[in-house]
Structure 1
Amino acid sequence: MAAAKIKKGDRVVVLSGKDKGKTGEVTQSLPKEDKVVVSGVNIAVRHAKPSQSDPQGGLKRAEAPLHISKVAHVTADGKPTRVRFEERDGKKVRVAVKTGEAING
């Protein structure tokens, strides 16, 4: 399995879909499914019946996963960039293609 180019804690921008252009932080990475959960993006609404544990019921909002191909890493100036791997000082590091700077993580 290839190393993940987008990881938990990365700042990303949505490239397509209803949330196109929104930015957020990756809160969860699901590498086996090639999906990520981004804070404040792709909010799913579910109707919940009242129950003993939740007597109020009503509409429940939660962040749903996005496919990893729909998001791109954001550079310091807020523009999307692809990510590649390079070997620097004997270590494999993630590098922003547009700027050439190393990405922490």
Structure 2
Amino acid sequence: MSTFKIKTGDTVKVIAGKDKDKEGKVISVNPKNSTVVVEGVNMITKHEKPSMANQQGGIVNKEAPIQVSNVMYLHKGTPTRIGFKVEGDKKVRIAKKTGEVID
């Protein structure tokens, strides 16, 4: 399994699908299924039974996972690919477009 280039908390832009050109923050990452959940993107309507967490139950809108290949990292508002570089003894992510270190 390869290393995931998108991490939780990154800002991404959707580049394919029904929510194309929407931007949002990554809520969760699932490397096993190659999916990410992005805030406000790929919203679904789910019918939930009443439970201890949700006393009322009813119809709830929530985000569904989206393929990681359909999102692109935003670096200073510009979509860019991500690469890796070894600086000293640390492996860091870099923006391919500018060459700047991300984290």
TM-score band by shorter chain is 0.7 to 0.9
> 1:13-28 maps to which residues of 2 (within 5 A)?
13-28=13-28
TM-score between both structures, scaled by the size of structure 2: 0.88
Which letter does structure 2 place at the counterpart of 1:90? D
- Partner of residue 43, structure 2: 43
The alignment's C-alpha RMSD in Å is: 1.7
C-alpha distance in 1, partners of 2:97/2:36? 22
Deviation of 1:100 (Å): 0.7
Cα shift readout 1:62-94 (whole Å, capped 9, x = no counterpart):
110110000010011x12111111111221111
Runs of 4+ in 1 over 3 A off after TM superposition: 51-58
* Runs (5+) with no aligned partner, structure 1: none
Which letter does structure 2 place at the counterpart of 1:98? K
Cα shift readout 1:27-84 (whole Å, capped 9, x = no counterpart):
10101111001111111112346x47556443211110110000010011x1211111
C-alpha distance in 2, partners of 1:12/1:80? 8
Say if 1:48 and 1:75 are closer, same or farther in 2 by CA, change over 3 A. same
Say if 1:55 and 1:19 are closer, same or farther in 2 by CA, change over 3 A. same
Which letter does structure 2 place at the counterpart of 1:93? V
Say if 1:52 and 1:69 are closer, same or farther in 2 by CA, change over 3 A. closer
Say if 1:61 and 1:93 are closer, same or farther in 2 by CA, change over 3 A. same
> Equivalent pairs: percent with the same residue?
47
1:89 aligns with 2:88: yes
- Partner of residue 2, structure 2: 2
CA contact (8 A) 2:15 2:70 kept: yes
Say if 1:91 and 1:32 are closer, same or farther in 2 by CA, change over 3 A. same
